[in-house]
Amino acid sequence: METPKETIIDKDATDKSDTVKHDEDIQKEIEKEKGASQVSLIVTEDGGGFVILDFEVDDKMKKPEAKQLAEKYANKLEEKYKDYSIDAQARKGGDTFAQVTKSKWLFGLWISCR
């Protein structure tokens, strides 16, 4: 006879389904860019608000082109999500190839990094 397994429920766990959303309009726009694929775009309220963009670039794309594409969409996302920190990463072969980060409200100061 099999012993019933005990289920442990964390009463302090947070359901994050309400704090995470996707911006399908911009995601579809990026998917149409030449050389870009496997786009993931997440908008979360956690930690003061973050927009995280990851996309794969093809082998032919050079680093300046990938950086330009990440910059283009980081700027577009920054316009749409003014109070959020933005992280846009172009990946090649699964590794970060180019990255643009725009941070908001770090230690009480407004900053924007590239």
Q: What is the pTM of this model?
A: 0.74
Whether the pLDDT of residue 36 is over 60: the answer is yes
Asked if the structure places residue 112 within a domain, the reply is no
Q: Which of 46, 95, 94, 54 is nearest to 77 (CA)?
A: 54
Helix and strand element counts for the chain (H, E): 2, 5
In a domain? residue 55 = yes
The count of structural domains within the chain is: 1
Helix (H) or strand (E) holding 77: helix 63-80
Domain with 68, as residue range(s), is 18-102
Instruction: Tell me what percent of the residues of the chain surpass a pLDDT of 90.
Output: 61
pLDDT computed for residue 111 by the predictor: 47
